[in-house]
Chains A and B, each alone.
Chain A
Amino acid sequence: DVKVTQSSRYLVKRTGEKVFLECVQDMDHENMFWYRQDPGLGLRLIYFSYDVKMKEKGDIPEGYSVSREKKERFSLILESASTNQTSMYLCASSLAGLSGNTIYFGEGSWLTVV
């Protein structure tokens, strides 16, 4: 079974703190994604990466950055957390290309910024 692991499940951070969300997948997938999910807004893509050291902005990249130094790991960084970044963050991965490839999600990281 594909496993996408988000190491931090529940975090509470203060405004202005730097926050790291880590994601690791064990199926040698080329594509990795970071989404946030908010009530009524659905899943919104923050960043994605199709290869090591490659990254592409999604729909809402402002206030976030990412790092993909190794194929299996994709990190989301909030340089200076703000209260409007309180959300559930979902990491996902899939094989190269998108046609017909299942997207596998991690269990989510619930971030509260106070």
Chain B
Amino acid sequence: RKEVEQDPGPFNVPEGATVAFNCTYSNSASQSFFWYRQDCRKEPKLLMSVYSSGNEDGRFTAQLNRASQYISLLIRDSKLSDSATYLCVVILYSSASKIIFGSGTRLSIRP
């Protein structure tokens, strides 16, 4: 089983729709969580950190569920410019710190 798993998609939704996707992690030693966005043939860039209490940044909401070991990203009122691949990132603190990237969920917004 992969340490971090994401539905690869693609999610194909109309402009203005709300879309959500999850990322599950297997190691309970996981301590820090992030969502990164990667455009086609570009480098990943930080979208937002994920806090235990949940956090919002404009149209984007991130949630963490430690009991079920997943994080989620919700995008409201989606725009064409939201089309990208969304990577979840988990940082483990066990014997040595480790950064683990999910394989990404591809999102395509259609007009």
Contacts and interface: CB of A to CB of B under 8 A. Distances in A.
A43 interface: yes
A99 B91 contact: yes
Interface residues on B, range: 20 to 34
B71 interface: no
Interface string A78-114: 0000000000001000000111101111111000000
Given A98-B91, A99-B93, A100-B32, A105 B45 contact: yes
A103 B42 contact: no
Contact of B103 (A42, A97, A102, A105): A42
B99 interface: yes
A107 B99 contact: no
Interface string A33-54: 1010000111101000000000
Contact of A42 (B42, B93, B102): B102
A107 B43 CA distance: 5
Most buried by A among B44, B89, B104: B44
A33 B91 CA distance: 14
Given A100-B32, A105-B45, A42 B99 contact: no
B102 A107 contact: no
Nearest to B4: A42
Interface of A: 33, 35, 40-43, 45, 90, 97-100, 102-108
